């Protein structure tokens, strides 16, 4: 079995643990004082996930504070502003929840969320998240490799791509009442990308249940691609033979390609990708090819022209 080694993160750059727990203590005090009524339902649940194997990897940068991860988001189902998801996502009900896995599979199945939580050991993985708008975060996700789920349904030889479909419910997701995109949100990966050990089926962050505004109750995280490739609030996964049309490709294929690998040499039509601003920092930093995961994933694209296959 191939072992993928993540780049190191320096101990001097990790957010002090007491700062994180100070916020947790505030949330607990607020609950005791009946202040949680002022918070959106489950917008930040603060519910610990049991049995999580803590990461022994140390990535390159300081972890992004929890308050920033949960208050600065792209999730158009709840509005196009960065603060909108935190304000509006309390309307999302994450139980009951199922994910249908179908298509080119020998054993298609409908998985309940509770079953998915127990399908494989939960791990903490510290990944960079790079947005196409040239901002980034470093997030301690909780989950396990998507491959563990896909293997359960036994993809056929015709399964060349994997399509992800998010929840479509305008009553819960008020942003879907606007034709910003052709709802439901759809994304896709090549089968080898989806089966890569780094591709994460995420159910939490910072050791706790995934907040609604971050894609609850279950989402994909593909750390070497721009953030919009990591579909949120997934209800269906389809194994297909032909490349699926993703939502942003459908909206504007000249600006949003299928692969969307982080590439400092390929600019977005409206801004440069050569540099990025880490949330919480003033100065910009150079963008890393494949978001810093070149050693692990560059071989997936051997021989491809990544300026054309953007």
pTM of the model: 0.86
Both tokens assigned to 210: 């995934």
Radius of gyration of the chain (CA): 19
Note the helical H segments in the chain: 17-32, 66-69, 84-88, 113-117, 146-153, 191-194, 247-251, 294-297
For the sheet containing 234-240, what is the strand order?
A: 109-112, 98-103, 234-240, 161-166, 186-190
Domain boundaries defined on the chain: 19-296
pLDDT in tens, 210-246: 999 999 999 999 999 999 999 999 999 999 999 999 9
Architecture of the domain delimited by 19-296:
Alpha-Beta Complex (3.90)
Of the candidates 264, 266, 262, 232, the one whose C-alpha atom is nearest the C-alpha of residue 247 is: 232
Tokens found for residue 187: 């994304």
Tokens for 300, please give them. 């997936």
pLDDT in tens, the chain (310 residues): 444 454 444 333 344 444 444 444 334 333 333 323 333 444 455 799 999 998 876 666 789 999 999 999 999 999 999 999 999 999 999 999 999 999 999 999 999 999 999 999 999 999 999 999 999 999 999 999 999 999 999 999 999 999 999 999 999 999 999 999 999 999 999 999 999 999 999 999 999 999 999 999 999 999 999 999 999 999 999 999 999 999 999 999 999 999 999 999 999 989 999 999 999 999 999 999 999 999 999 999 999 999 999 9
Distance CA(13)–CA(100), nearest Å, equals 40
How many alpha carbons fall within 13 Å on the CB side of residue 82?
A: 9
Q: Which two tokens stand for residue 293?
A: 């995961």
Residues 98/113, Cβ–Cβ less than 8 Å: yes
* Strand extents, DSSP E, the chain: 98-103, 109-112, 123-130, 135-145, 161-166, 186-190, 200-205, 208-209, 219-221, 234-240, 275-278, 285-286
Cα torsion through 121, 122, 126, 127, rounded to 10: 90
Share of the chain above pLDDT 70, in %: 84
CB 72 within 8 A of CB 211: no
Residue 250 to residues 100, 162, 224, 305, Cα–Cα distance (Å) = 23, 17, 22, 22
Angstrom distance (rounded) from CA 71 to CA 7: 27
Identify whether the C-beta of residue 50 lies closer than 8 Å to the C-beta of residue 99: no
Strand partners for 155: 105
How far is residue 205's CA from residue 203's CA, in Å, rounded to a whole number?
7
CA–CA dist 244, 238 (Å, integer):
10
In 3D space, the residue among 191, 187, 197, 254 whose CA is nearest the CA of residue 226 turns out to be 187
What's the CA gap between 205 and 125, in Å, rounded?
9
For residues 246 and 297, what is the distance between their CA atoms, to the nearest angstrom?
Answer: 21
């Amino acid at each position: 079995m191939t072992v993928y080694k993540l780049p190191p993160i320096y101990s001097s750059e990790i957010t002090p643990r007491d700062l994180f727990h100070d916020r947790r203590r505030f949330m607990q005090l607020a609950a005791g004082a009946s202040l949680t009524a002022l918070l959106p339902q489950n917008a930040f649940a603060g519910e610990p996930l049991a049995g999580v194997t803590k990461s022994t990897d140390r990535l390159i940068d300081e972890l992004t504070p929890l308050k920033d991860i949960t208050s600065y988001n792209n999730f158009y189902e709840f509005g196009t502003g960065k603060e909108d998801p935190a304000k509006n996502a309390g309307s999302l009900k994450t139980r009951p929840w199922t994910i249908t896995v179908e298509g080119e599979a020998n054993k298609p199945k409908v998985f309940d969320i509770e079953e998915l939580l127990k399908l494989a050991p939960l791990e903490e993985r510290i990944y960079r998240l790079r947005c196409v708008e040239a901002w980034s975060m470093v997030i301690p996700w909780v989950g396990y490799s998507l491959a563990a789920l896909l293997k359960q349904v036994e993809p056929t030889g015709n399964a060349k791509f994997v399509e992800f479909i998010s929840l479509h419910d305008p009553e819960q997701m008020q942003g879907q009442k606007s034709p910003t995109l052709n709802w439901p949100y759809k994304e896709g990966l090549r089968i080898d990308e989806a089966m890569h050990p780094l591709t994460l089926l995420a159910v939490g962050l910072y050791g706790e249940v995934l907040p609604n505004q971050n894609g609850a109750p279950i989402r994909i995280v593909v750390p070497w691609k721009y953030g919009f490739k990591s579909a949120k609030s997934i209800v269906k996964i389809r194994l297909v033979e032909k490349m699926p049309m993703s939502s942003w490709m459908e909206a504007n294929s000249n600006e949003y390609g299928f692969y969307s690998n982080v590439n400092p040499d390929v600019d977005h039509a409206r801004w440069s990708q050569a540099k990025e601003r880490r949330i919480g920092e003033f100065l910009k930093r150079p963008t890393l090819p494949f978001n810093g995961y070149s050693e692990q994933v560059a071989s997936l694209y051997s021989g491809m022209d990544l300026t054309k296959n953007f």
